[in-house]
Amino acid sequence: MADKPLKTGEIVELTSLKKRCRKSMKTLIKEKLIASPKRCYWEPN
């Protein structure tokens, strides 16, 4: 896991979910498993 909030591009690099990243992130947001501490950065809840 990262020790800091990550940008979407960094998440893609780490997970190789290039095409499914947006869909996966939307699901995680709805389930409240990730949050955005500041614009365009994401971290687990």
Position 10 scores a pLDDT of 86
Position 13 scores a pLDDT of 85
Position 12 scores a pLDDT of 84
For residue 25, the one-letter residue type is M
Q: Work out the number of other CB atoms within 10 angstroms of the CB of residue 1.
A: 6
pLDDT digits over 1-45, tens only?
677 888 888 888 888 777 787 888 888 889 999 888 888 888 888
Tokens describing residue 42: 């994401």
User: Structure pTM?
Assistant: 0.64
Find residue 43's DSSP bridge partners.
Answer: 35
From residue 44, alpha-carbon distances to 5, 9, 17 in Å are 8, 16, 17
User: How far apart are alpha carbons 35 and 29 in whole angstroms?
Assistant: 7
